[in-house]
Amino acid sequence: AAAGARVIATSRRAFALDLARQFGAADIIEESADVVSAVKPLTGGKFCDVVIECTGKQSALDLAAELTRERGRLVIAGYHQDGPRQINMQLWNWRGLDVINAHERDPQIYRAGMEAAVRAVESGLLDPRPLYTHRFGFEQMGEAFATALARPRDFIKALVLMP
Residue 99, classified by CB atoms within 10 Å of its CB into exposed (0-12), middle (13-18) or buried (19+), is middle
pTM here?
0.85
Residue range 12-36: average pLDDT?
91
Given pLDDT bands bounded at 50, 70 and 90, which one contains residue 2?
low
Tell me which of 3.40.50.720, 3.40.50.300, 3.40.50.620, 3.90.180.10 is the CATH number of domain 8-101: 3.40.50.720
Percent of the residues in the chain that have a pLDDT greater than 90, as a whole number: 80
Kindly report, residue by residue over 69-81, the tens digit of the pLDDT: 999 999 999 888 8
Q: What pLDDT does 33 receive?
A: 78
Mean pLDDT of the chain: 93
Average of pLDDT values for 119-144?
95
For the chain, the structural domain boundaries read 8-101, 107-161
Q: What is the distance between the alpha carbons of residues 11 and 30, in angstroms, rounded to a whole number?
A: 6
Instruction: Pick 2 or 148 by higher pLDDT.
Output: 148
| Amino acid at the residue 121 | V
Query: Is 10 in a helix, a strand, or coil?
Result: strand
- C-alpha to C-alpha distance for 94 and 86, rounded to whole angstroms: 16
Q: Which residues contact 99 (CB under 8 A, 6 or more apart)?
A: 73, 74, 76, 92
Q: What is the pLDDT of residue 79?
A: 86
HEC-encoded secondary structure of 98-159: EEEECCCCCHHHHHHHHHHHHHHHHHCCCCCHHHEEEEEEHHHHHHHHHHHHHCCCCCCEEE
Whether the pLDDT of residue 47 is over 90: the answer is yes
